[in-house]
């Protein structure tokens, strides 16, 4: 006579009637496999169990990869929609001053940045009335300032889009907001042959909003649209 305890009849009937409940419960299946290995003794290797463990491990990794790919796709789609909305709002302006004010207002809100500054290089000073009225968004700098700012004085050819974290943000760019700006995107602007370059700076309080490990495709597209829009105003 077996000394093993008999399973409860109601539980036995429930398992027989619905075996999928057991098969779909990974914890129960692991417990059954462990009990089977224990019953076989320590001198027997169950290759089927080893194969099952490896398959489960691969499945877990595939599921993690699947979730990561889906999350990245949603993030990219959200970023694309954000850039498109910002561009459409930017193109709504019919006057240059409205265009600039929108940069620091609704366009900044759409892009979720805390500061926007457009820097134009010029051999003239910044006594222009438009510059004085829009000083929070627009400033004029001497030739060479933009490349020097992007490269932090190290020379070399700056990239069109530079993303980086900040410890001490420039007061020349951000004014009174400099103390709490912790990351920025620097978009170098080409206004065409014979014109000095410009720079659009997007500053954020969030230190992780912009960083060198991030992709720049969407901001490169935004930069191209912005350049073409500015050429229209500067012509």
Structure tokens at 58: 């691969």
Contact at 8 Å (CB) between 186 and 209? no
Q: Which residue do the tokens 């940045």 mark?
A: 113
What pLDDT does 114 receive? Answer: 94
What pLDDT does 1 receive? Answer: 44
Q: What stretches of 92-216 show up as alpha helix (H) in DSSP? A: 96-102, 108-110, 129-133, 145-151, 171-174
Q: Which CATH superfamily is domain 83-234 in?
A: GAF domain (3.30.450.40)
What pLDDT does 72 receive? Answer: 66
Going residue by residue through the chain, which has 235 residues, state the pLDDT in tens, using 9 for 90 and above: 445 556 777 777 877 787 777 767 777 777 776 666 666 655 555 666 667 777 777 777 887 777 777 766 667 777 788 999 999 999 988 888 888 889 989 999 999 999 999 999 988 765 666 666 777 888 888 999 999 999 987 878 889 999 999 999 999 899 889 999 999 999 999 998 889 999 999 999 999 999 999 889 999 999 999 999 998 888 7
The closest of 149, 150, 127, 152 to 140, measured between CA atoms, is 127
Report the predicted TM-score, pTM, of the whole model to 2 decimal places: 0.69
| Domain(s) of CATH 3.30.450.40: residues in the chain | 83-234
What pLDDT does 88 receive? Answer: 93
Output phi, psi for 182, to 5 deg. -120, -5
């Amino acid at each position: 006579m077996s000394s093993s305890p008999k399973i409860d009849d109601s539980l036995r009937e429930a398992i027989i009637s619905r075996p999928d409940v057991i098969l779909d419960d990974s914890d129960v299946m692991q417990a059954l496999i462990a009990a089977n290995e224990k019953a076989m003794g320590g001198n027997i290797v169950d290759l089927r169990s080893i194969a099952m463990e490896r398959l489960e491990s691969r499945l877990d990794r595939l599921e993690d990869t699947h979730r990561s790919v889906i999350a990245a796709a949603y993030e990219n789609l959200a970023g694309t929609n954000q850039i498109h909305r910002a561009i459409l709002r930017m193109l709504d302006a019919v006057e240059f001053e409205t265009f600039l004010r929108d940069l620091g207002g609704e366009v900044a809100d759409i892009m979720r940045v805390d500061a926007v500054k457009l820097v134009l290089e010029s051999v003239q000073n910044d006594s222009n009335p438009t510059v004085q009225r829009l000083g929070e968004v627009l400033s004029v700098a001497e030739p060479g300032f933009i490349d020097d700012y992007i490269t932090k004085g190290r020379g070399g050819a700056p990239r069109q889009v530079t993303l980086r974290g900040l410890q001490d943000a420039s007061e020349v760019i951000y004014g009174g907001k400099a103390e709490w700006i912790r990351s920025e995107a620097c978009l170098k602007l080409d206004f065409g042959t014979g014109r000095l370059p410009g720079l659009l700076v997007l500053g954020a309080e969030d230190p992780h909003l912009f960083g060198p490990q991030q992709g720049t495709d969407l901001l490169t597209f935004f930069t191209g649209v912005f350049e073409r829009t500015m050429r229209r105003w500067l012509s």
